[in-house]
Amino acid sequence: MFDFTEEHKMMRKMLRRWVDAELVPHVDALESEAMLPYEPMRKLLKTFGADDMARQTIAKAEERAASGKADGPRGDAEGGMMRDPAMSAITAIEFSRVSPGFAMAVGASLGLCGGAIMKRGTLAQKKRFALPVLTGEKIGAWAITEPGAGTDAFGGMTTVARRVDGGYVLHGAKTFISNAPYADVFVIYAKMEHGDLPMRQRPITAFVLERGAKGLTTGKPMKKMGMWSSPTGEIFLDEVFVPADQLLGEKEKEPSREGARDVFHGERTAMVPMCFGIIERCLEEAIKYAKERKTWDKTIGEYQLVQAKLARMYIAYQNVKSMLFKTLWMEKNGLKMTMGEASSMKAYCAPVTTEVAMEAVQIMGGNGYMREFRVEQLARDAKLLQIGGGTDEIQLVTCARALLQGDMVLG
């Protein structure tokens, strides 16, 4: 797959029109936190019928269950706008051209939280917890990162779940969680109490919690360098009782660490279309400005130093585009990318996106530094892509280990 199909291109045009009409006018309000991203998200789902698609997906799953048939594959299970990987990528691209923070808020709710429940949950959990998230009725958050863990997400995790009559009790804290200040549904990862087994070796299990549970509280939205349109915060778990039917999948024997790794893996590859959208917009704005801005009676695009910047930006655009379509091709053909491959992809795309955005600021000079020209926002937002989902440094380490262990084959 080297390009979008005609159907995808048509959908991209439709989505571009929606973004121009419904998102662009509200970017300043979203950036100032005067407006939350959730109403535009709900309007998006209704406009494109994604909420009804999610309902139909659950209804079909119930029909299969009633007839004794197994639930459908993941592609059917996710439903809505998550059904087609290319459509999901197009959505992230178009949002990220205008507001990467909005893309992150939507992705965290529908993709990370809703997607995790749809993939690992029971039918009852999908209907009770995932469906309201996928229709936009409720907002979801996916919580694994902790104050003292960071990149060592699994080994450094200290949130604990202990078994009690009728369920479990969770104690611990999560931080840097997208949508946490306003989320209604939380997918929380914790280490199961396991005798004398050292904390780092304990099995990790996922639970689905709802706002209002006794002992569950969230902090105020954090003040950040970028991604202002995406509310981020902390989650505090003070002896929170969780009924047994809220253990994701309702089976302890299924290792949730792998489930978390799958979503973590998806979080890394999902950043590629975000990177593509940011780079595409920055390149467009830089080219336009280079053709219009004059110094010493020449457009700045006639100077070789500016031309070199634009050429390097375009090279990055082409490289990220190739990685994007490789990802879509693999998903279309049912191929799973290794963790090393996913890490190498993020290790390239994230920093080059920041570089391209900063070059756009540089080409546009003083205007590029001003908020009204937008590239300064994209530069600030892009920086998080080098940190969230694992830093540049850990991606390089993961990639190198995979090469040395023979997990990635050359040729």
**Cβ within 8 Å of residue 52, ≥6 positions away:** none
Q: Among 351, 181, 337, 192, which Cα is nearest to 267's? A: 337
The angle subtended at Cα 197 by Cα 195 and Cα 200, nearest 5°, is 135
Summary mean pLDDT of the chain: 91
Q: What is the mean predicted confidence (pLDDT) over 277-285? A: 98
Confidence of residue 407 (pLDDT cuts 50, 70, 90): confident
Q: Are strands 185-192 and 140-143 parallel, antiparallel or unpaired?
A: parallel
Phi, psi of 357, rounded to the nearest 5 degrees: -65, -40
Q: Which two tokens stand for residue 401?
A: 């280990």
124-144 residue pLDDT tens: 999 999 999 999 999 999 999
161-179 residue pLDDT tens: 999 999 999 999 999 999 9
Q: Which two tokens stand for residue 144?
A: 């694994």
**Cβ within 8 Å of residue 392, ≥6 positions away:** 347, 350, 351, 386
Q: What is the mean predicted confidence (pLDDT) over 358-363? A: 98
| pLDDT the model gives residue 253 | 59
Q: Among 82, 237, 120, 108, which Cα is nearest to 179's? A: 108
Question: Quick one: which H or E segment has residue 161?
Answer: strand 160-164
| pLDDT the model gives residue 219 | 97
In sequence order, which ranges of 152-293 are alpha helices (DSSP H)? Answer: 256-292
In one letter, which amino acid is 170?
L
**Cβ within 8 Å of residue 318, ≥6 positions away:** none
Question: Quick one: which H or E segment has residue 190?
Answer: strand 185-192
**48 three-state secondary structure:** coil
| pLDDT of 319 higher than 50 | yes
Confidence of residue 269 (pLDDT cuts 50, 70, 90): confident
The pTM (predicted TM-score) of the whole model is: 0.92
| pLDDT the model gives residue 262 | 59
